[in-house]
Amino acid sequence: MLKYEIKKNKIIVLNPQEFDVVQTLDCGQIFRFQIDKNKAKVMSKDKIAVLTSEADKIVIETTDVKYFENFFDLKTDYEGIKNQLKKDNMLSEAVEYGGGIRILNNDCFEMLVSFIISANNNISRIKKSIEYLCLNFGSNLGNYFAFPTLKQLKTATIDDFMKAGLGYRAPQMFETINKLTEEEIESLKTKSQKEQMEFLVSLKGIGEKVANCVMLFGLGVKNVFPVDTWINKVYNNLAKTKETNRAKITKELTEKYGNLSGYAQQYFYYYFRDNKIK
């Protein structure tokens, strides 16, 4: 369990072996952050935190400590989760490698927009597109720009999304943004997992994988196992198969890992992506 103190404008994490800032930011679950040596800036919605990693502690400076306490999932016992997952032979090495990852509790709407952009795309391009949207449609908060609200993104045209580099996803984004309401996003949070999935995949640009990412990173649902190209490769590598039906892989892995699926998926993804195993 993580030990930390909450002060007025900072959180001090006292046993950082359970929390590696670089691993957590660099494992593909968030696109708005900057890392400079041992300092990191992290943006979520209209908020920002500055993290300083030292040998024996991590200092999180922010004006909204409650938001980032939840955002960095500080109350969850990752040691227990990792001990469970290490029992799986295929996962033990990946858990060891990415042992400092924490699954972020990010903003649902930000995740929805971000993961529509992520489809068949690479992370550096995804980051640039999102940055463009923040700069051109988000609020200027002085040192940084907020992620645009739904209302702000409704002012964007298809051509604006093209300029953001969305390519063929631009019309999909336009349609989804202009169909969505604030009420629908808010009510998503209290829906059942099945209802969340049904609603998300009814939107243009969202299929099962993107929906699973929105649920995992934006709705706190851990019983999902997003299958992207890397997970697909890992699966075939370990199972010695050539399966291309991702829905089938998703079902199998979700049933296998149950309520720890989201964690297991992140350890798999981070380990095999970094080690470039085919």
Partner DNA sequence: GCCCAGGGATGCG
Partner DNA sequence: CGCATCCATGGG
Residues at the interface with DNA (CB under 7 A)? 27-29, 118-126, 128, 162, 165, 167-168, 172, 201, 203-211, 213, 226, 228-231, 233, 244-247, 265-266, 269, 273
By C-alpha distance, which of 179, 131, 181, 136 is closest to 160? 136
Q: Specify the DSSP element, H or E, that contains 61.
A: strand 58-61
C-beta closer to DNA: residue 57 or 125 = 125
C-beta closer to DNA: residue 52 or 136 = 136
C-beta closer to DNA: residue 64 or 199 = 199
Nearest distance in Å: CB 165, DNA: 5
C-beta closer to DNA: residue 2 or 206 = 206
What crossing angle do the helices spanning 208-218 and 246-257 adopt, rounded to 10°? 30
C-beta closer to DNA: residue 64 or 208 = 208
Residue 18 DSSP one-character state? G
Task: List 11's β-bridge partners, or say none.
Answer: 6, 60
C-beta closer to DNA: residue 11 or 119 = 119
Nearest distance in Å: CB 9, DNA: 29
Task: Give the whole-angstrom CA distance, residue 177 versus residue 58.
Answer: 37
Nearest distance in Å: CB 87, DNA: 22
Nearest distance in Å: CB 3, DNA: 27
Residue 140 DSSP one-character state? B
Radius of gyration of the chain (CA): 18
By C-alpha distance, which of 166, 178, 183, 79 is closest to 125? 166
Nearest distance in Å: CB 7, DNA: 31
HSE (side-chain half, CA atoms, 13 Å) at 164: 29
Report CA 51 to chain centroid distance, whole Å.
Answer: 18
Residue 149 DSSP one-character state? P
Nearest distance in Å: CB 273, DNA: 6
